[in-house]
Structure 1
Amino acid sequence: MQDYPKAVRVHSHVHHACDTVALDYEGRFLRRKQLVAASGRGFLVDLPEVTNLAGSEAFVLEDGREIAVQAAPEPVLVVRGDLARLAWHIGNRHTPCQIGADALVIRQDHVLEAMLAKLGAEVAHDTRPFTPEGGAYGMGRTMGHSHDHDHHHA
């Protein structure tokens, strides 16, 4: 078994990164996981507790080296229209949402896409880093209702 360097803490800002790792929204919620940096070198994340990363931090290895965390591009829906009303419907479903001045961004979900279209939203598919608003209760995450299962909602 290969002995990987171990990341034992996270800096909230990158100081002197020797490498980077790109993680999607789900991948940025972790405690213990083996990852591969952009250079192809593996390392083990072994943090004292589950951590929610925004994508602008750095893992700190035992020897002091830093690996910068980046939010990886992933499939999203860009939602435009009556943003206050649409945000209410998205939030009512406990769905993580990135809020911009002229658009809302959520992860691709065919059920939510259909609902938003029925509400008059303009919905476009895109691939970009997804960095939603943090939760109000400290973890920085809302626990969304996934629609990746094999049944349909009426």
Structure 2
Amino acid sequence: MLTFTERLSEVIDRSIIPQPVIPLFTLSLSAEERTRSRHRFETPDGQSLFLRLPRGTILQDGDLLKAETGEIIKIAAKPEPVLTVTAQNPLDLLRAAYHLGNRHVPLEVAPNYLRLSPDPVLKDMLERMGVTAIEEIVPFQPEIGAYHAHS
């Protein structure tokens, strides 16, 4: 079983690794799965791999991981069910972000939309506020939080 212990996206230095890194394969993980620093996963072809990363590591789309034996894989954000929130004006979108933040909801923030995990109570609240909340299946990349290091 491959054991991945290092996140290269944080330490990659072109003077040390001058050529582009070619990953062995891409591992697609949901937003929740990308928060697991110690976990066993299975690839689509049935190969087992284990993450043994520093506690608190939150993987992002495009991160590269290195195994103890030198193999490198790429992390991809897997499409998953979400609510995508849009509004007619920026103030309504800011108000929606404020109310979702008060509920400590993992939230992806973009200039023209918010994205969160599906929740019928929150969808109803958002629609009552006058914003649009549609169900989609797309990669979900929530903010990692103010107390985590941003890369």
Both structures adopt the same fold (TM-score exceeding 0.5): yes
Q: How does 1:52-67 map to 2 (within 5 A)?
A: 52-67=58-73
Q: In the TM superposition, what is the alpha-carbon distance from 1:38 to its structure 2 partner?
A: 4.0
Q: In the TM superposition, what is the alpha-carbon distance from 1:26 to its structure 2 partner?
A: 0.7
Q: Does 1:12 align with 2:9?
A: yes
Task: Tell me the distance in 2 between the aligned counterparts of 1:34 and 1:121.
Answer: 39
Of the three residues 17, 27, 36, the one matched with 1:30 is: 36
- Greater fraction of residues in strand: 1
Q: In terms of mean alpha carbon deviation, does 36-45 or 18-27 score higher?
A: 36-45
Aligned to 2:14: none
Question: What value does the CA root-mean-square deviation take over the aligned residues?
Answer: 1.8
Q: Does 1:123 align with 2:133?
A: yes
Q: In terms of mean alpha carbon deviation, does 120-129 or 11-20 score higher?
A: 11-20
Q: Secondary structure at the match of 1:49?
A: coil
Query: Is 1:72–1:128's contact at 8 Å kept on the other side of the alignment?
Result: yes
2:77 maps to amino acid? A
Aligned to 1:148: none
Task: Tell me the distance in 1 between the aligned counterparts of 2:4 and 2:64.
Answer: 9
Aligned to 1:99: 109
Q: In terms of mean alpha carbon deviation, does 100-109 or 43-52 score higher?
A: 43-52
Aligned to 1:90: 100
- Greater fraction of residues in helix: 2
Task: Tell me the distance in 2 between the aligned counterparts of 1:33 and 1:138.
Answer: 20
**Any idea what the Cα deviations from partners look like across 1:33-63, whole Å, max 9, x if unmatched?**
1112344321111224231111221221112
**Any idea what the Cα deviations from partners look like across 1:47-105, whole Å, max 9, x if unmatched?**
24231111221221112111111111110001111111111111111111111222111
Gaps of 5+ in 2: 11-19
Q: Percent identity?
A: 33
Task: Tell me the distance in 2 between the aligned counterparts of 1:74 and 1:118.
Answer: 25
Query: Is 2:58–2:144's contact at 8 Å kept on the other side of the alignment?
Result: no
Q: Secondary structure at the match of 2:24?
A: strand
Of the three residues 51, 60, 65, the one matched with 1:45 is: 51
Gaps of 5+ in 1: 141-154
Query: Is 2:30–2:140's contact at 8 Å kept on the other side of the alignment?
Result: yes
TM-score by length of 2: 0.83
Of the three residues 101, 125, 137, the one matched with 2:147 is: 137
Task: Tell me the distance in 1 between the aligned counterparts of 2:147 and 2:3.
Answer: 29
Task: Tell me the distance in 2 between the aligned counterparts of 1:46 and 1:101.
Answer: 34
TM-score by length of 1: 0.81
Q: How many residues are paired up?
A: 137
